[in-house]
Amino acid sequence: MATPVSDSLESERPVDVAQIERSLAELWRNEQDGDAAVTRAALWNVVAHTSTSEHHAQATEVLSRASAAVPQRSIVINANAAAPPEISSWISANCHLVGGGKQMCSEEIAIVAGGDRIHRVPPLVNALLLPDMPVAVWWMGDLPNEHEEYVETLLDPADRLIVDSSCFDSPQDLELVGRVAAKTTTIPADLNWIRLEEWRAATASVFDPPDMRGRLTAIRRVRVVAGAKEENFFGDAIESLLYASWLTTQAGDGADDAIDYRFERRMSDAVGQIAFVEIVFEDGSSASISRDRERGVLMMNVDGIVSMPDSVTRTIEKQTDALIVRQLKQSSGDRVLVRALPMAAKLAKRLR
Amino acid sequence: MTVEAPVVDTNPLREGLEQERVPDASCLVIFGASGDLTQRKLMPALYSLAHDGLLPAGQTIIGFARPDFTDEAWRMAMRDACNKFARVRPVDEAVWENFAKGIFYVRGDFNDPEAYLRLNQRLQECDRSRGTGGRRIYYLAVPPNFFPVISEFLGAEKMVNDPERGGPFTRVIIEKPFGHDLASAKELNRVAVTTFRERQVFRIDHYLGKETVQNLLVLRFANGIFEPFWNRQYIDHVQFTVAETVGVEKRGGYFETAGITRDIIQNHMLQLVSLIGMEPPVAYEPDAVRDEKVKVLRALREFPRGHEEDCAVRGQYTEGSVLGEPAPAYRKEPSVNPESRVETYSAIKLFIDNWRWADVPFYVRAGKRLPKRVTDISIHFRSAPYPLFNKMSTLRMSSNVLAIRIQPDEGISLKFDSKVPGPTVRTAPVTMEFRYATSFGAEPPEAYERLLLETMLGDSTLFARRDEVETAWAWIDPLLRAWANDGRAPEPYPAGTWGPEAADKLIEKDGRKWRRP
């Protein structure tokens, strides 16, 4: 929760696009003259790309909350080619109490561009990035894989591309992310992948005992049941796809042909979220993990016998800002995700 | 499972997960389970580890002490303790329910062989029911005089597995003080290695579990910019301060036998000196790091015999006030001899006689009832060689200071001179600051959490090795003996001040001043 320092810092003020940096400097200089102990901090440049005003407002709110945990210069873009041709900007600061009476503040810049003016956004963003700090581009919504060049221009300075694959509408989106990983220095990150972490942790626990580790190469069937609604949206299947891809690639030989993958849908409000996983080994034995909604934990069952206490894995719903924070706290990219992406794209084709 | 599977060393599914390293489940036996340390630190730390998903399924904790508890009663007591002292509180029902399944209690006297039989029986039951596979960690949260008897019984009852023979691990954690002097430390270590191998012994110095202390290694060896300046060519001197506002509280009896030099300087502060003074280790591995630390301790210059006061000052607080509250004199504290000559403040100037640090003084001070609670290290760089600016000033140019705040408000700041805006060239000191809370937001884990987890994982990098402990004692013992024999009382200082005047003189005679942390 932001703690107001002063109205001048907290409230948004419209500024001339060409004068954003100067206006920010002025904002801080004015604040230094006041009595409040204010520290300006930034560990990241976070550029959020949106295409609707609703997403723009949502991104602003999410990054404002995330900046309490990871100080950052946020640049939130709303670029809509169908809107009237204009470009405008606002600046504000987002402050949090950090103890000792000090306020820690992050800067927020909002840019709204329409029509052909959207092409002025990438160079403007480049000019506004804090030097020496890494750059994360958070692409809200579906990736415009049909406009790959536009994506590439914005990603040019990016160290990290953050997407939420649950918004993807086709396997081509997964492939585009895979290409970014393979061909550029931008490392992809996926909020959906972070949501999957509790399932990965619970599955890893099954294979923690030394005698179970060797069985990873004996997996013959992976059955994943996820929540769904009547309409069939591609993004709803991605959590299951990523899970199965991760298990296969990490298990060692990547011999996916030897594994029978079964992706099942169960009507539920928790659309896209995994509810049950079953892993069957070559000798017919199995391990399963299920979500206990009431207790908010994942339960493991190895070969039908609960021979070990259940490992507690929390299944608390994570807000988007918490997922973003998790991504930004990882100083290096997630090589495990990068490894799993090609397999996920491959399995996605089997869905069709 | 019926098919014989090949053994794989690590679990590949752990790669990239927050819990990348998960230890194998073991039985952790806490000797002295009814004590303060267990309630305030150990159980809350273990619970927090469980909360963060860092304990393996099946991890078992067995309390061993004299008071009569049932398993359930002890669980309840520990739940209360976690609710009061855990980093993450109140306790989470689902986590606690699972965590409590692994908590047991065995009543017994440390001198009673029957009690060890009962304990061993319980351990074996846990191996069967909880999959702990014979793996043992014995935590001796007891005064050092119980160490020989406990380790003797553990050995006699065959409750210790020799790692040379393979099989499940046995580890023992020992709390400080590691002896009272060099002779007793050597004896303690001798007893330890009659039952355990050195690599099974984990000597806890909780300072090493602090994030900021670990960050000393990162600061020095993950950044290329510091190493070229980290030597006698560029560093004028180094200061270490461990200041406490509290007195001896309920520990008057113990403190009378120890004093601040044994309590803080011999262990915590010499660890800090080692980390600041050490050479880069060849790897971030237990022995590689500790080899370099012990070299620093070996290079400490001996105290000048008969002239110890040239480089060491001791003080004792008298009546005063701290943070606005009246504070009694040390000699009026409970369980303290009214004529006590035990020091509550100690300041030492030491030298590390090696190529890197020759003739660079390290000033170390620790005290109770000082104005504020702070642990701080400051690296004072040499001044610019020629006063290009401020020629008219009679003041010496302020030096550059790299200050590392260990606690509280952990962080690092760098002081340097900058031009004051205006038509004339005037300079003023400014600071660049890094604060953990500002940059990383999240609260760091407690030192005991990290150290308990490292023990379960078998990584002893953050624990003191036998030769470290003995070398530290070998250096400080002559000073303590000289103080014990000189018949003089410590210099008095009023509670709430920065120590006795003699401590100021110790540094001022070298043309320097204590930094106000």
Facing residues of B139 across strands? Answer: B30, B173
Would you state the pLDDT for residue B449?
A: 93
pLDDT tens-digit series, residues B77-95: 999 999 999 988 888 888 8
Q: How confident is the model at residue A70 (pLDDT cuts 50, 70, 90)?
A: confident
Q: Is the pLDDT of residue A47 over 90?
A: yes
Whether residue A203 lies within 8 A of chain B, CB to CB, comes out as yes
How close B133 comes to chain A (CA, Å)?
A: 10
Whether residue A229 lies within 8 A of chain B, CB to CB, comes out as no
User: CB A283 to CB B1 under 8 A?
Assistant: yes
Would you state the pLDDT for residue A209?
A: 77
C-alpha distances in Å from residue A261, one per residue of A218, A222, A264, A280, A347: 14, 5, 10, 11, 9
User: CB A213 to CB B7 under 8 A?
Assistant: yes
- Cβ-contact B404, B412 below 8 angstroms: yes
Between B426 and B512, whose confidence is greater? B512
DSSP state of B300: B
Whether residue B435 lies within 8 A of chain A, CB to CB, comes out as yes
For the segment B249-270, the average pLDDT, to the nearest whole number, is 90
Helices (H), chain A: 7-10, 20-32, 53-66, 121-128, 148-155, 171-183, 191-195, 197-206, 210-213, 238-251, 320-329, 335-351
* CB under 8 A, 24+ apart: contacts of A284-288: A285/B1, A285/B2, A285/B3, A287/A206
> Least CB-CB distance to A201: which of B17, B98, B435?
B17
Q: Is the pLDDT of residue A2 over 50?
A: no
Between B312 and B426, whose confidence is greater? B312
Quick check: pTM over 0.90? no
Would you state the pLDDT for residue A34?
A: 56
For the segment B61-83, the average pLDDT, to the nearest whole number, is 94
Q: Which residue of A has its CA nearest to B98?
A: A312
User: CB A39 to CB B438 under 8 A?
Assistant: yes
Q: How confident is the model at residue B56 (pLDDT cuts 50, 70, 90)?
A: confident
Whether residue B15 lies within 8 A of chain A, CB to CB, comes out as yes
Q: Which two tokens stand for residue B75?
A: 């669980």
Strand-pair category, B361-367 with B345-351: antiparallel
Q: Is A20 left (phi over 0), alpha (psi -120 to 50) or beta?
A: alpha
Chain A residues with CB under 8 Å of B60 CB are: none
Would you state the pLDDT for residue B83?
A: 93
User: CB A71 to CB B439 under 8 A?
Assistant: yes
Whether residue B223 lies within 8 A of chain A, CB to CB, comes out as no
Would you state the pLDDT for residue A5?
A: 40
Q: Which two tokens stand for residue A148?
A: 């790959």
Chain A residues with CB under 8 Å of B223 CB are: none
Q: Is the pLDDT of residue B396 over 60?
A: no
Q: Is B57 left (phi over 0), alpha (psi -120 to 50) or beta?
A: beta
Chain B residues with CB under 8 Å of A211 CB are: 1, 5, 7
pLDDT tens-digit series, residues A92-101: 877 776 666 6
3-state secondary structure of A94: strand
Between B425 and A305, whose confidence is greater? B425
| Length in residues, chain A | 352
Q: In what order do the strands lie in the sheet with A219-228?
A: A260-267, A219-228, A274-281, A286-292, A297-302
User: CB A308 to CB B130 under 8 A?
Assistant: yes
Q: How far is Cα B22 from Cα B457, in angstroms, rounded to an integer?
A: 7
Would you state the pLDDT for residue A37?
A: 58
Would you state the pLDDT for residue A314?
A: 47
B77, B83, B88, B94 alpha-carbon torsion, rounded to 10°: 70
Between B416 and B436, whose confidence is greater? B416
pLDDT tens-digit series, residues B130-169: 888 899 999 999 988 899 999 999 998 889 998 888 888 9
Whether residue B409 lies within 8 A of chain A, CB to CB, comes out as yes
Interface of A with B in 42-71 (CB under 8 A): 43, 68-71
User: CB B57 to CB A310 under 8 A?
Assistant: yes
A-B Cβ pairs (cutoff 8 Å, strict)? 131
Whether residue B130 lies within 8 A of chain A, CB to CB, comes out as yes
Would you state the pLDDT for residue B166?
A: 81
Would you state the pLDDT for residue A191?
A: 92
For the segment B1-26, the average pLDDT, to the nearest whole number, is 68
Q: How confident is the model at residue A6 (pLDDT cuts 50, 70, 90)?
A: very low
Whether residue A146 lies within 8 A of chain B, CB to CB, comes out as no
Whether residue B94 lies within 8 A of chain A, CB to CB, comes out as yes
Between A90 and B57, whose confidence is greater? A90
Between B10 and B108, whose confidence is greater? B108
Chain B residues with CB under 8 Å of A68 CB are: 441
- Cβ-contact B244, B370 below 8 angstroms: yes
* Active centre residues of B (catalytic): 268
Q: Which residue of A has its CA nearest to B1?
A: A285
User: CB B438 to CB A104 under 8 A?
Assistant: yes
Chain A residues with CB under 8 Å of B225 CB are: none
* Residue-wise burial string across B392-402, b where 16 or more C-beta atoms lie within 10 A, e elsewhere: eeeeebebbbb
Q: How confident is the model at residue A39 (pLDDT cuts 50, 70, 90)?
A: low
For the segment B92-99, the average pLDDT, to the nearest whole number, is 86
Would you state the pLDDT for residue B390?
A: 64
User: CB A297 to CB B94 under 8 A?
Assistant: yes
Interface of B with A in 485-504 (CB under 8 A): none
- Cβ-contact B427, B415 below 8 angstroms: no
For the segment A270-281, the average pLDDT, to the nearest whole number, is 88
Q: Is the pLDDT of residue A31 over 70?
A: no
Q: How confident is the model at residue A245 (pLDDT cuts 50, 70, 90)?
A: very high
pLDDT tens-digit series, residues B442-469: 667 888 999 999 999 988 988 999 999 9
Q: Is the pLDDT of residue A306 over 50?
A: no
For the segment A65-94, the average pLDDT, to the nearest whole number, is 87
- Cβ-contact A326, A62 below 8 angstroms: no
Q: Which residue of B has its CA nearest to A292?
A: B94
* Amino acid, single-letter form, for residue B407: Q
Most B CBs within 10 Å: which of A213, A301, A323, as the mutation test of the B interface? A213
> Least CB-CB distance to B439: which of A43, A313, A334?
A43
Strand-pair category, B201-204 with B170-175: parallel
